[in-house]
Amino acid sequence: MNERAFIIIKPDGVRRGLIGEIVNRFEKKGLRPVYAELKELSGETARSHYGHLKEQVFFDELIAYMTSGPVFAMIVEGRSAVANARSLIGPTNPVKAPPGTIRGDYGSDIDENVIHSSDSLDHASREIQLFFGRTGLLHKL
């Protein structure tokens, strides 16, 4: 059954020119990009997206980082998209991410770990709506 997952290539990944390489890895895994935008995040969108972390001491730094430059936000579609995307990306901490995963190959540390992916279908739906509104749900690449 096809699913949709939400992906963000974070500012460090965009700055380092990794968009093409990362998108290619998703395509090789059988996850087809169906919508994407290079965009600047507003503080409001970043705070909403990371609202579950608002009590953490690093919250303000996280928001500053996510709004420090453009991000590449996309929706990928395919079989078990959420689970496959998470497997391809690797653990949050790049130091613990195995080689061959995106974070294992490109992440420098937990603060700049290159990429985000939805961790459930419910979160994917919420994140797609937050970042793209109805546009992300209707258009296909």
Catalogue the active-site residues.
116
Q: Tell me which residue of 72, 93, 88, 94 sits closest to 16, measured CA to CA.
A: 72
Report d(CA 7, CA 41) in Å as an integer. Answer: 14
Helix H or strand E encompassing 35? strand 32-39
Q: What is the DSSP string of 50-103?
A: TGGGTTSTTHHHHHHHHTSS-EEEEEEEEETHHHHHHHHH--SSGGGSPBTBHH
Instruction: Report the DSSP beta bridge partners of residue 106.
Output: none
CB-based contact 4:128 (threshold 8 Å): yes
